[in-house]
Amino acid sequence: MATHSASLPHVHISTTVQTVVDTLLGRIHTGQYAVDERLPSERTLASDLGVARNTVREALEVLEGRSLIRRRAGSGSFVNPPDQQAAPTTHSDIAASSSPLHLQVIRGILEPDMVRLAVINMSPRAIESLGETLSQMELIQTDADAFVRIEEEFNRKIAAGTGNPLIAGCYDLVIDSCRQSFRATQLRRHLTPDRIETYQKRYHSLFNAIAARDTDAAVEFIKLHLVEEQRILLQQG
């Protein structure tokens, strides 16, 4: 019987262990490690991921605690079928168990309609506040971490601007998923100064579309942006 360990995501683990957990989660959820497949040995994973074996061992213990894998002495670790895996129960659990692919799927579903509703419902004051956040974003040249923080604030304001607290709450979960170590590492790796400048121009175009109440242009922007994010994800996968 699978052991449900919903409290495990709240136990403090090192950033390195969390990165390994997120990486292995991504491989499980995208099917790189299939159901009932034996995972590579601790030694192989340590070499592949560039970490110590005890780091891999801790990460496997976390995954076992979530019932994502089962470990057999002398045989190795195996991926559990979905019906044996402990279901995520909290906001943090859901974010931690979401792979980069899951994240892109939900963004593709949520963000176009989120932007469309924001164009319709944002108040002039909310649009002005969004413009202030854009101005802060446009000051950044090389600091990827700072850019991501302001990008989150910009998108939160769009989510709030829909006037729908459920959409805003859903987008908070999207942001939490983006902050998972594996996904955050991907984001920062591709945010070169040139790409930051490109994103600034795109967000400027999005803001202009929102301010002009141009629904079609705003939705087209976000769809193109998501296509670019998907392309980067596939390149890094």
Convert the pLDDT of each residue in 132-145 to its tens digit. Answer: 999 999 999 988 88
Q: Tokens 């803001």 appear where?
A: 207
Domain ranges of the chain: 8-86, 98-236
What contacts 5, CB < 8 A, 6 or more positions away?
65, 66, 67, 86
By the 8 A CB rule, do 99 and 91 touch? no
pLDDT at 13: 66
- What is the homologous superfamily of the domain 98-236 according to CATH? GntR ligand-binding domain-like (1.20.120.530)
Q: What is the pLDDT averaged over residues 99-116?
A: 87
Largest CA distance in the chain: 65
CA distance 38 to 45: 12
Residues 6-17 have pLDDT tens digits of 333 444 567 788
| pLDDT beyond 80 at 179 | no
Of 118, 196, 109, nearest to 151 by C-alpha is 196
Q: What is the DSSP letter of 8?
A: G
Cα-Cα-Cα-Cα dihedral sign, residues 3, 50, 143, 151? negative
pLDDT band at 1 (very low <50, low <70, confident <90, very high): very low
| pLDDT beyond 70 at 58 | yes
pTM exceeds 0.85: no
| pLDDT beyond 90 at 234 | no
pLDDT at 144: 85
CA distance 84 to 67: 7
Lowest mean pLDDT among 25-34, 79-88, 165-174: 79-88
**Any idea which architecture 8-86 has in CATH?**
Orthogonal Bundle (1.10)
Q: What is the pLDDT averaged over residues 82-92?
A: 60
